[in-house]
Structure 1
Amino acid sequence: MDFSAVTKPVERLLATAQNGLEVLRYGGLETGAVPSPFQIIQSVPMFKLRRYFPPDVRPGAADPGPPVLMVHPMMMAADMWDVTRDEGAVGILHRAGIDPWVIDFGSPDKVEGGMQRNLADHVVALSEAIDTVKTVTGRDVHLAGYSQGGMFAYQTAAYRRSKDLASIIAFGSPVDTLAALPMNLPAGVAAGAADFMADHVFSRIDIPGWLARTGFQMLDPIKTAQSRLDFLRQLHDREALLPREQQRRFLASEGWIAWSGPAISELLKQFIAHNRMMTGGFSIHGDLVTLSDIDCPVLAVVGEVDDIGQPVAVRGIKRAAPQADVYEYLIRAGHFGLVVGSKASNQTWPTVAQWVKWLDNAEEMPDGVVPMGLPSADHPEGGVSFTTRVTHGATAATEMAFGVARSAADALVAANKSARTLVIETARTLPRLARLGQVNDHTRISLGRIMSEQARNLPNGEALLFDGRVHTYEAVDRRINNVVRGLIDVGVRQGAHVGVLMETRPSALVAIAALSRLGAVAVLMPPDVDLAEAARLGGVSEIIADPSHLEAARQLETRVLVLGGGENRDLHLPEDSDVIDMEQINPDVVELPGWYRSNPGLARDLAFVAFTTVGGELVARQITNFRWALSAFGTASAANLGRGDTVYCLTPLHHQSGLLVALGGAVVGGSRIALSRGLQPDRFLQEIRQYGVTVVSYTWAMLREVIDDPSFSLVGSHPVRLFIGSGMPAGLWKRVVEIFEPAQVVEFFATTDGQAVLANVAGAKIGSKGRPLPGAGHVELAAYDADDDLILEDEQGFVRKADPNEVGVLLAHPRGPVDPTAAVKRGVFAPADTWVSTEFLFRRDEDGDYWQVDNRTAVIHTERGPVYGTPISDAVGRLDAVDLAVTYGVDLGGQQVAVTALALRPGGSIPTADLTHALADLPVGNPPDFVHVVADMELGASYRPMAGPLQVAGLPKPARRNSWYLDPDTQTYKTLTVAVWTELSSGQGEPDTAADPS
């Protein structure tokens, strides 16, 4: 009789019971494994620094090898690097001649103050640990991090600008976190949820270790269930279980630690909701950091079937760190399998050891390590396909069913992607437009009021970026209130006109906002104009100046208040000076008077006075709170600004674009405002990456100064999604969107009084001003006869509306106060109606988009008919060789002729046939009589090409390749020769033919 058939099941049952009892009693099977030896080199409250297999430091002892500092994610214990001594990371690296170090952040719930730690604390601590390793070993450090530990490694390298780092090795560490999320969550949904959770959930609670473990396991519930089932099935076979027992116990219980709420909140906000590993501009204790500062070699270990650190998200490092040499090592493993387990011990860690040696002493590059390529724009990489995970898993039927469900969900997401985007944008935009639509003369609204609301709703939100530092809404709001108290202390009252003569800096923004909060009028004085005239036009009673403009302000017959520049600076003021140092006023002792009400400004109230130059004369422009709100809410809506955006203010705050568009849009949108110290091409790329700039403001040809600078070179990715402003020439527009692809341009047109506002939100029609902005009031085009300079009427005597592509005068139905100097018209389209003429000429195409034609007073009346400057500039601007263009009139024998001047790009030239073709089919008006190339074109303060200096020079001179005239017989352009010039220009003087004998 074969007793084995009876005894074997009994033995199996007894073994299962015995092993099961051991698991229940001790949490697992006793393996007899001994942890690797280590020495605590540094112990501070934030971390302990371990050195594994501490070397013999006696003279003549063997070199321990290049140091590798390993970083664990916050929710896992540092022992993950030594789960098994023989097959763990530290043991394998040590046997390969590497010096392994581990940073241990400990369990925050067991350390005093640990549950208040944030992400920045971990980055700064890791940076300190790098300093220690460098000091002890005297060698640059290889920084290796798993999952979030790899994110820490990237962030710390950026924070240090790669100082003392030999390389970064990251295992399954996502960089482009929104490119592919676990469970294939849609990016928009994930970002919104992350923002909400950061503000309203994890700002109040923490995650204990057991919940961290459960959350990790739920990311792949099928694999978790499969592992537990396999363990139970083999519970009778101790020898089969022992090799993986330490790993199982680590994942099942021992390897998980608590996670502080502030750290989770910051992770969700900065790196999920706002994806600032990719865009840059994340804050480390107030310093702004970008991965583009990393320039040491990077090895990204990519899990082919990793559904947590998905390949496309991990490979984001290639675009985020364009200065670094980035390599990848692809391994067919899941997330944890990258660093622990048989594949990790056989593939990952030997490869890492070889990588370190390759960089350290030029040994051969490890097999399988290849330079990382950029994803194709035509074939963007997706997340881990579910079919790949089906092949990788063991329970094919179950996973296949799950895969079918996932595929259906993906199809639904793809089909509704545009709808979801529309819903998200509508949810953000509608409340702004609704609020704007509710504004009337008596509505309390102002810059100071909106900033108060943002500070109340989001006190710790990042508001202001400047010189590499970040300031929160609460800090900015407190500073504004302090300045208000200072102004009250020196006698400034509501309604006072106070000049602001300051550089673009935080103190200037604070001064403007403080005057708004007080209910005074900020007179924004450009430093490069006649300051005495500006003070007179603005009715200035006193001036707030920064130290750099103090002497200029003292030349005026007004009291000077000095603000900013640091509280400890010495102004060197004489004892009898009437200058008041605002920084010396203690706001805590200032008693607020009974008349003071915070933010009293009504929509109809005058809020700012800005200046512009018209015909060489300084003109004051009055801006009401309604005008400011219209631009601010309009910009935020048109650009879809949100808390994830950073608006880069290139224009100074005394310019209307800086005040109304950049600052206004950012404040209303809850976005960060990044102030620049003026347009500096060498700092432009560095700052947009450091600040994580998503929206750049501009005026006219400003961006030409950046992209035409010889040092400009855009390598790798950039965070910019929009350029917003007004007046960008069509040719420059085309070049900007080509260079900064996929960014778009949102071009605005707004009258000074804000009665008419247009915006090209789609950006598809280069040169178009778009359509009326919702909430900005109604506009119409009045049919116009340019020959007689008349607005045309219909049979009933009302103004006739212009037909499609017919030139018309842009009229605006007034909202709010009407400028006393405005051209007001009544009974225009209906009895007793009221309209304001903008005096600008437009055409409206068949789609309803508006195209600017010219200013009514700038039309050139030639014998051939009217010539409009803007359509000509748009047409020739589309020629690749053309940089800038401007059209102006010149008197020739008592008749006006139209001349177009062109500035060419370096090395550019224009064939005559191309010029004729470009100007052959203008949508409205006639082509110019003459076209010529100029060596340089003078730009105004707002970077607008100036026609005045060219107009003074009269007709262009003959030139073989750079001067043309319109042949009236053939309607083509021909070279302007000396003979033709002489015939046409009698009375214009002799041509200068020295440079060009033609």
Structure 2
Amino acid sequence: MCKLSGPSSRTFVGEQRVDVNLSAVTRPVIRPVERLLATAQNGLEVLRLGGLETGTVPSPFQIVESVPMYKLRRYFPPDVRPGKRPPGAPVLMVHPMMMSANMFDVTRDDGAVGILHASGLDPWVIDFGEPDKVEGGMQRTLADHVVALSQAIDTIKATTGSDVHLAGYSQGGMFAYQTAAYRRSKDLASIITFGAPVDTLAALPMGIPPNLGVVAADFMADHVFNHLDIPGWLARTGFQMLDPLKTAKARVDFVRQLHDREALLPREQQRRFLDSEGWIAWSGPAVSELLKQFIAHNRMMTGGFAINGQLVTLTDITCPVLAFVGEVDDIGQPASVRGIRRAAPDADIYQTLIRTGHFGLVVGSKAAMQTWPTVADWVLWLSGHGSRPANVVPMEDQQAEDDESGVQFASRVVHSVGEASEVAIALARGAAGAVVAANKSMRTLAVETARTLPRLTRLGQINDHTRISLGRIMSEQARGAPTGEFLLFDGRVHTYEAVDRRVNNVVRGLIDVGVRQGDHVGVLMETRPSALVAIAALSRLGAVAVLMPTDGDLAAAARLGGVAEILTDPTNLNTARQLSLQVLVLGGGESRDLNIADGQDVIDMEQIDPDAVELPGWYRPNPGLARDLAFVAFSTVGGDLVAKQITNYRWSLSAFGTASTAALGRGDTVYCLTPLHHQSGLLVALGGAVVGGARIALSRGLRPDRFVQEVRQYGVTVVTYTWAMLREVIDDPSFGLHGNHPVRLFIGSGMPTGLWNQVTEAFSPAQVVEFFATTDGQAVLANVSGAKVGSKGRPLPGGGQIELAAYDADSDLILEDDRGFVQVAGVDEVGVLLARPRGPIDPTASVKRGVFAPADTWVSTEYLFRRDADGDYWLVGNRGALITTDRGIVYPEPITDAISKVSSVDLAVTYGVAVGGREVAVTALTLLPGATVTTADLADAVSALPVGMPPDVIHIVDDLPLSATYRPSVGALKAAGLPKAGRNAWYLEVGTGQFKRLTSAVRSELAGA
């Protein structure tokens, strides 16, 4: 007999009772069935609903502001707060463009808004929405997001009356930085970012080399995303492919645990967000702008990025910053995130390091346990309610390391699968660093070669009949990159297309008033966009722009330049009216009163409707040939105004030479400190920028108090100079560099050697590229490496052939060999620089024929150089400026260079004083403020002159007068004669080679009295 009861039964065998447990028997069968049924049930729910039903509800929020660009959410608004407690400090959270704003509330209890609310703060979220579902959404730019975020900050400030803590994840963090800079930190209590790249080229995702990243980003910005948007599914796929191991592991884990609903539910909301719900479309213009401005050009670091035409720099951030750094974050890599320390030197920068990846910084268990509680403690600390969080530490100043290439692949693998030891990680990093160090110079060389070789090739192909001009190159750039930024002025930016359109309109205006190809038109304008446009328009028309100095003899300039009309701006209108010429007025804004009286020969060009002008049959844009005269510039020689004719070839030589030597590209900004009527502004700054496709920043003149601010605001990478111009900056009491600066090159001519050393020390690691070019452009030298301070470098590739003719200084003769040909100067021998002419020869040039071969033609520059064993050229003087003393020939330039290198010397100049039918060599110098100089310093400086002899007299002067181009002038010093005897003057004791105090007796002896 058997009776069943529950899971067990009793069976009697004979007189014994046996208990049998049925569960133990059936469990091995039932468990797989239950697991299979649970897996099927949960899988069906996932297929039907996209995921498991968690039963969670989103945190309550109120839409405070709704505009087409965004909706502003306030979570846990005051009317739903327990006990109606007043909200704490407002925290505005910003999502990246490709992710939904719901990321801050993925799970109510462990999400950002819930944790911040529980800590007593006032959480806000800006929701940019789904652009593909909003009218015009797929035309949004990055600037639209920054302006919208700034507007949201205004709303929160007005609503709460409190300054806002701005918190952004990934690109949302970039928005936070950009908006803070755009607002100059107005109404911001702090900035909090999570994996937000700043120095994007310090470490690109997946270890992509920076140079390759720049090229790829530039190409995709110009040729892909200007036609293509990114849908949400593609954004999701791209994000997941950045860490395929982690993505695959998460999916495998999900499938393996599909039967265990309780195990899956805590992470289900996060999984659904990453797999489907959290991704939104990304507009093509915004992607293009991100790639161009902040990856290819890295303008978060350099400054000069444009927001609604306004130029912005992160150096304007002054509020505290907390940057969360993911140790294994391959998107916002640590080296890139830490760039904020150098980009915002005036802000207090802190960091928190978390061992997690990119998304884990803001969502997940570590975010819930570390990130958001730290954010709450940070806000409370800044609000005066608590101490600084223990894991928040000041971010140390640091320079980007040459071998810092971002999160290593080995580190990502270790984080994902928990394998490999710290030793293996160190080895992997060391090996990768060695590879980077070995290949960096090769990558740089390859990129620069690819950039400069086509320019040099084109320059070498230019002949007399080549169509080349400023107007033509600008047209080419406008066609190739119409939206490319070109002209920066007064904090605003203008594109190539906008400037080119303005040039064409001015051309029509010039045609309407009767200007034709070949006409000489004076340009009397301050440095401003309209001046650049006027010069370019005359070039496009084929006319000659006569660049009249605003502070010179205008009547003489008009006469020398053959001017029939004068193009001016309202500022110089009254001055232009004094000339008996037709006056054309251009620029100055729309609202202006020119006070043009009846009968005056003045035409307001702005009143001409370009669309109403019919182009004549003779007009062809950009007709200029290389041999054609393009510009007339002026310089002062011996007090007289001298006209310098500049052909299109001469302009092209300087423009292509500058662009090639400086390796200028679209990521560069050239800072033009000289007026455009000066040859440096026209040939080097404007010419180099146009040929290089770079931006040109025009200044209203050198202002030392604004120099550093404008360098950062414009993102200046290349500064042009003349002579001692930068002395005004270095010697300014307010000058100081803090943190990062974008300058990589100073390029110009005539910089004193002492100032050269000061500039490179102050702006390290920037270098000086010193040019030497004759007025006619037949001879061009460039010190590209900057390694030899004071050297003029070597011949510019593509710039024509030069040679150094042997020279007898005592007889002032070029030496010939037995066959009558000119001898070539040997190493460190002084010679006359000769150039083999290309293009038209200046009528005033000294032409030599049959120089090195029968019937060859060379032009003597009349400049004296020596050439060292490496082939570098050093200027020693001009044939007409050598000083013939009783001791022999004194070359002025080597002495000036040597004295200028004395650490206490500010400026120096060497000249000859005529006394009693002979000359005395004198060096005048000024000292740096508070500095002194000893006779030993002076003797040491001139003891090892490479050629020539020391000066007879050295004296200290209070000031050295500078010309309009900042060139030291010796006219007044020569006229004053020998220096007076005293404690600041010394003479050379010939027997000992030492300098002694200049006394009245010695002075009388030198004067021959």
TM-score w.r.t. length of structure 1? 0.97
8 Å contact kept, 1:387–1:403 = no
2 CA distance for matches of 1:399 and 1:457? 50
Partner-residue secondary structure (3-state), 1:361: coil
What is residue 363 of structure 1 aligned with on the other side? 386
Q: Please show how residues 200-239 of structure 1 align to structure 2 within 5 Å.
A: 200-239=223-262
Deviates more, 1:61-70 or 1:147-156: 61-70
**Which structure 1 segments of 5+ residues have no match?**
988-998
Q: Please show how residues 158-237 of structure 1 align to structure 2 within 5 Å.
A: 158-237=181-260
What is residue 64 of structure 2 aligned with on the other side? 41
What is residue 64 of structure 1 aligned with on the other side? 87
Report Cα offsets for 1:576-631 as digits up to 9, x if no partner.
21111100111110111111111111110000000000011000000000000010
2 CA distance for matches of 1:944 and 1:99? 61
8 Å contact kept, 2:414–2:420 = no
What is residue 676 of structure 2 aligned with on the other side? 653
Q: For the structure 1 residues 59 and 387, does the alpha-carbon distance in structure 2 shift closer, same or farther, using more than 3 Å as the test?
A: closer
User: Once the 2 structures are TM-superposed, how far is the Cα of residue 389 of structure 1 from its aligned partner?
Assistant: 2.9
2:856 counterpart of 1:833: yes
Q: For the structure 1 residues 397 and 27, does the alpha-carbon distance in structure 2 shift closer, same or farther, using more than 3 Å as the test?
A: farther
Alignment counterpart, residue 694 of structure 1, candidates 703, 717, 721: 717
1 CA distance for matches of 2:702 and 2:696? 16
1 CA distance for matches of 2:428 and 2:736? 46
2:810 counterpart of 1:787: yes
8 Å contact kept, 2:405–2:436 = no
What is residue 837 of structure 2 aligned with on the other side? 814
What is residue 932 of structure 1 aligned with on the other side? 955
1 CA distance for matches of 2:257 and 2:81? 49
User: Once the 2 structures are TM-superposed, how far is the Cα of residue 407 of structure 1 from its aligned partner?
Assistant: 8.1
8 Å contact kept, 1:108–1:115 = yes
1 CA distance for matches of 2:402 and 2:595? 64
What is residue 985 of structure 2 aligned with on the other side? 963
User: Once the 2 structures are TM-superposed, how far is the Cα of residue 567 of structure 1 from its aligned partner?
Assistant: 2.2
User: Once the 2 structures are TM-superposed, how far is the Cα of residue 573 of structure 1 from its aligned partner?
Assistant: 1.6
Report Cα offsets for 1:625-655 as digits up to 9, x if no partner.
0000010000000000011101000010000
Q: Please show how residues 478-627 of structure 1 align to structure 2 within 5 Å.
A: 478-627=501-650
User: Once the 2 structures are TM-superposed, how far is the Cα of residue 59 of structure 1 from its aligned partner?
Assistant: 15
1 CA distance for matches of 2:467 and 2:429? 51
- Let me know the Cα RMSD of the aligned residues: 1.8
Q: For the structure 1 residues 302 and 422, does the alpha-carbon distance in structure 2 shift closer, same or farther, using more than 3 Å as the test?
A: same
2:968 counterpart of 1:975: no
What is residue 993 of structure 1 aligned with on the other side? none
Q: For the structure 1 residues 448 and 376, does the alpha-carbon distance in structure 2 shift closer, same or farther, using more than 3 Å as the test?
A: closer
Q: For the structure 1 residues 95 and 402, does the alpha-carbon distance in structure 2 shift closer, same or farther, using more than 3 Å as the test?
A: closer
User: Once the 2 structures are TM-superposed, how far is the Cα of residue 952 of structure 1 from its aligned partner?
Assistant: 1.3
Alignment counterpart, residue 255 of structure 1, candidates 278, 284, 298: 278
What is residue 994 of structure 1 aligned with on the other side? none
Partner-residue secondary structure (3-state), 1:808: strand
2 CA distance for matches of 1:830 and 1:647? 42
User: Once the 2 structures are TM-superposed, how far is the Cα of residue 986 of structure 1 from its aligned partner?
Assistant: 5.4
Partner-residue secondary structure (3-state), 2:77: coil
What is residue 823 of structure 1 aligned with on the other side? 846
What is residue 353 of structure 2 aligned with on the other side? 330
8 Å contact kept, 2:404–2:433 = no
2:469 counterpart of 1:446: yes
1 CA distance for matches of 2:710 and 2:959? 29
1 CA distance for matches of 2:362 and 2:936? 65
Partner-residue secondary structure (3-state), 1:90: helix
1 CA distance for matches of 2:84 and 2:600? 72
Alignment counterpart, residue 900 of structure 2, candidates 856, 867, 877: 877
What is residue 451 of structure 2 aligned with on the other side? 428
Q: For the structure 1 residues 208 and 226, does the alpha-carbon distance in structure 2 shift closer, same or farther, using more than 3 Å as the test?
A: same
| Corresponding letter in the other structure for 2:572 | H
8 Å contact kept, 2:410–2:428 = no
Deviates more, 1:976-985 or 1:638-647: 976-985
Q: Please show how residues 622-633 of structure 1 align to structure 2 within 5 Å.
A: 622-633=645-656
What is residue 859 of structure 1 aligned with on the other side? 882
User: Once the 2 structures are TM-superposed, how far is the Cα of residue 927 of structure 1 from its aligned partner?
Assistant: 0.5
User: Once the 2 structures are TM-superposed, how far is the Cα of residue 408 of structure 1 from its aligned partner?
Assistant: 7.0
**Which structure 2 segments of 5+ residues have no match?**
1-23
What is residue 996 of structure 1 aligned with on the other side? none
Report Cα offsets for 1:183-207 as digits up to 9, x if no partner.
1110000010000000100110111
Alignment counterpart, residue 775 of structure 1, candidates 770, 779, 798: 798
1 CA distance for matches of 2:269 and 2:944? 78
User: Once the 2 structures are TM-superposed, how far is the Cα of residue 338 of structure 1 from its aligned partner?
Assistant: 0.6
Report Cα offsets for 1:71-114 as digits up to 9, x if no partner.
00000000000000000000000010100000000000000110
8 Å contact kept, 1:964–1:975 = yes
Partner-residue secondary structure (3-state), 1:393: helix
User: Once the 2 structures are TM-superposed, how far is the Cα of residue 70 of structure 1 from its aligned partner?
Assistant: 0.4
Report Cα offsets for 1:810-836 as digits up to 9, x if no partner.
000000000000000001111111000
Partner-residue secondary structure (3-state), 1:178: helix
What is residue 351 of structure 1 aligned with on the other side? 374
2 CA distance for matches of 1:642 and 1:707? 27
1 CA distance for matches of 2:263 and 2:394? 39
2:152 counterpart of 1:152: no
What is residue 668 of structure 1 aligned with on the other side? 691
1 CA distance for matches of 2:385 and 2:655? 57
1 CA distance for matches of 2:393 and 2:982? 56
What is residue 10 of structure 1 aligned with on the other side? 33
What is residue 89 of structure 1 aligned with on the other side? 112
2:806 counterpart of 1:760: no
The structure number with the bigger radius of gyration is 2
What is residue 726 of structure 1 aligned with on the other side? 749
2 CA distance for matches of 1:475 and 1:644? 19
| Corresponding letter in the other structure for 2:557 | A
2:130 counterpart of 1:107: yes
What is residue 917 of structure 2 aligned with on the other side? 894
8 Å contact kept, 1:390–1:400 = no
User: Once the 2 structures are TM-superposed, how far is the Cα of residue 399 of structure 1 from its aligned partner?
Assistant: 13
2 CA distance for matches of 1:955 and 1:357? 73
2 CA distance for matches of 1:293 and 1:410? 34
8 Å contact kept, 2:207–2:408 = no
User: Once the 2 structures are TM-superposed, how far is the Cα of residue 376 of structure 1 from its aligned partner?
Assistant: 4.9
User: Once the 2 structures are TM-superposed, how far is the Cα of residue 396 of structure 1 from its aligned partner?
Assistant: 2.9
User: Once the 2 structures are TM-superposed, how far is the Cα of residue 395 of structure 1 from its aligned partner?
Assistant: 5.6
1 CA distance for matches of 2:692 and 2:505? 25
2 CA distance for matches of 1:877 and 1:515? 42
Q: For the structure 1 residues 377 and 94, does the alpha-carbon distance in structure 2 shift closer, same or farther, using more than 3 Å as the test?
A: closer
What is residue 3 of structure 2 aligned with on the other side? none
Number of residue pairs matched by the alignment:
986
Q: For the structure 1 residues 404 and 928, does the alpha-carbon distance in structure 2 shift closer, same or farther, using more than 3 Å as the test?
A: closer
User: Once the 2 structures are TM-superposed, how far is the Cα of residue 492 of structure 1 from its aligned partner?
Assistant: 0.7
2 CA distance for matches of 1:458 and 1:861? 57
Q: For the structure 1 residues 398 and 904, does the alpha-carbon distance in structure 2 shift closer, same or farther, using more than 3 Å as the test?
A: closer
